[in-house]
Amino acid sequence: MKIIKYPSREQWADLIRRPQIDTTQLHATVSSILSEVKAHGDDAVRKYEEQFDHAQLHTLAITEAEMEEAERLVSDDLKAAIVLAHRNIAKFHEAQQFESHKIETCEGVECWQKSVAIEKVGLYIPGGTAPLFSTVLMLATPAKIAGCRQIVLCTPPNREGKVNPAILVAARVAGVSHVFKAGGVQAIGAMAYGTESIPRVYKIFGPGNQYVMAAKQLVSLHDTAIDMPAGPSEVCVVADASSDAEFVAADLLSQAEHGIDSQVFLITTSEEMLQKVTEQVDVQLAALPRKEIAQQSLNNSIFVLVRDEAEAMDLSNAYAPEHLIIATSDYERLAEKVVNAGSVFLGRWACESAGDYASGTNHTLPTHQYALAYNGVNLDSFNRKITFQHLSEAGIGSIGHAVACMAENEQLEAHAQAMRIRMSKLGLR
């Protein structure tokens, strides 16, 4: 990792810049696969499953027999953990239910909103080096609460054509409608366009590698909505002299092991803490099964020593992290200063792992500085707000002249006429 001490604010733009990759060839590859899936449906999906996942598939849909087999393969301990996490995620998202209110903006004019679930949603669940069954819960649970009629899940199979059993158990617990063996770009294309087996959906959710992210962004231009633009996972930890260096190092490494392009960012007001955390990272890294991945991630990572807490929070807000851990003694006061972050973890006991799995908050979050403008997935992500208005005769009297006047001055005569005709019927001028 890079260690930077007391950088000037002029240096911050370089510090917070994420690692960049050349996407020219990537987009060409992704576009080609998407075009083939759009044209050839299931045949193209099976072709790319054999090419990329080395699985020869006769059918794409998960059968009931496979679901039952998964139930037998998953330990009772893990099932209990999945059920506990699902309960907490459901409880948190149920509290986000929208309540509609009719508002009389002026006499005779009523306006209101109605929240309506997106009818068909698609969930992409990675299944490679880290099969993310927790993401099944994070996406399917609020989709079910929202009332989405069809919840479609795509996840890559292994070489034997099997899907990780914990993914299937989580899908059943959370209420997924259909599960399909499809990964990568071909899965995104299948959900965006529809194939003989995989239904077309109206919005696609879920994380993935750079190819999956590029595919999501490309299909969102013309074919289907997506949850958010996203890049590699990241965490920022704000620490002071009172922080636990062992905890801080563990939190940094828990993010670093996600992938070689992940990034961890430490901001501390204590030079002694900086040294302790650096030492702890080396100690804990050596014992990790995914240490090679974490080490490459650490090569993209930055540890920064700043002068005070105000500067620490300004730098954190400029970085706009996906995950922010405030591990200081006065975390409540600093929490008030958070402006840009996906999800925030307060105090020494709130490790990011809690939010990743079972605290109840959603772990599908904006990365790559998108937290400047986006929030993470929540119940509203699976709904649309439709606005309604009703005008009575009194309403025409209240706003008719203003509407006609504004339309005339925008030179939209037909707009003005639609209101003037109504005013004339009521004897209004």
List, for residues 55-105, the tens digit of each pLDDT value.
999 999 999 999 999 999 999 999 999 999 999 999 999 999 999 999 999
Does residue 8 form part of some domain? Answer: no
Query: How confident is the prediction for the chain on average, in pLDDT?
Result: 96
Give the β-pairing of 178-181 and 203-205: unpaired
Beta bridge partners of residue 290, listed in sequence order: none
Does residue 17 form part of some domain? Answer: no
d(C-alpha 202, C-alpha 120), whole Å: 6
Q: Are residues 147 and 209 in the same domain?
A: yes
Catalytic residue among 323, 352, 363, 368: 323
Task: Tell me if 96 is assigned to a ligand binding site.
Answer: no
Pull the structure tokens for residue 271. Answer: 């030079």
Task: Tell me if 6 is assigned to a ligand binding site.
Answer: no
Task: Tell me if 415 is assigned to a ligand binding site.
Answer: yes
Task: Tell me if 380 is assigned to a ligand binding site.
Answer: no
Query: What's the number of domains the chain is made of?
Result: 3
* Residue (of 331, 336, 332, 339) closest to 314 by Cα position: 339
Q: Are residues 256 and 179 in the same domain?
A: no
Q: What is the mean pLDDT of residues 250-270?
A: 94
Q: Are residues 88 and 165 in the same domain?
A: yes
Question: What range defines the domain where residue 169 resides?
Answer: 24-100+117-226
**Is residue 69 classed exposed, middle or buried when 0-12, 13-18 and 19+ CB atoms within 10 A define those classes?**
middle
CATH number of the domain within which 40 lies? 3.40.50.1980
Last residue of a domain, one of 188, 209, 226: 226
Does residue 383 form part of some domain? Answer: no
Q: Are residues 170 and 155 in the same domain?
A: yes
Does residue 48 form part of some domain? Answer: yes
Task: Tell me if 119 is assigned to a ligand binding site.
Answer: no
Does residue 370 form part of some domain? Answer: yes
Does residue 18 form part of some domain? Answer: no
Does residue 15 form part of some domain? Answer: no
Confidence band for 166, pLDDT divided at 50, 70 and 90: very high
Task: Tell me if 410 is assigned to a ligand binding site.
Answer: yes
Q: Are residues 401 and 363 in the same domain?
A: no
Catalytic residue among 49, 257, 309, 322: 322
Non-local CB neighbours of 78 within 8 Å, separated by 6+ positions: 166, 169
Q: Are residues 32 and 131 in the same domain?
A: yes
Higher pLDDT, 421 or 429: 421
The pLDDT value recorded for residue 261 is: 86
Q: Are residues 317 and 344 in the same domain?
A: yes
Q: Are residues 146 and 205 in the same domain?
A: yes
* Residue (of 259, 145, 268, 250) closest to 210 by Cα position: 259
Q: Are residues 404 and 296 in the same domain?
A: no
- Residue type at 27? H
Instruction: Determine whether 101 is an active site residue.
Output: no
Instruction: Determine whether 68 is an active site residue.
Output: no
List, for residues 302-320, the tens digit of each pLDDT value.
999 999 999 999 999 999 9
Q: Are residues 258 and 213 in the same domain?
A: no
Residue 213 predicted with pLDDT over 80? yes
Task: Tell me if 258 is assigned to a ligand binding site.
Answer: yes
Q: Are residues 329 and 400 in the same domain?
A: no
Q: Are residues 34 and 163 in the same domain?
A: yes
Can you say how many angstroms the Cα of residue 108 is from the centroid of all Cα atoms in its chain? 42
Residue 420 predicted with pLDDT over 90? yes
Does residue 411 form part of some domain? Answer: yes
Last residue of a domain, one of 201, 226, 251: 226
Task: Tell me if 368 is assigned to a ligand binding site.
Answer: no
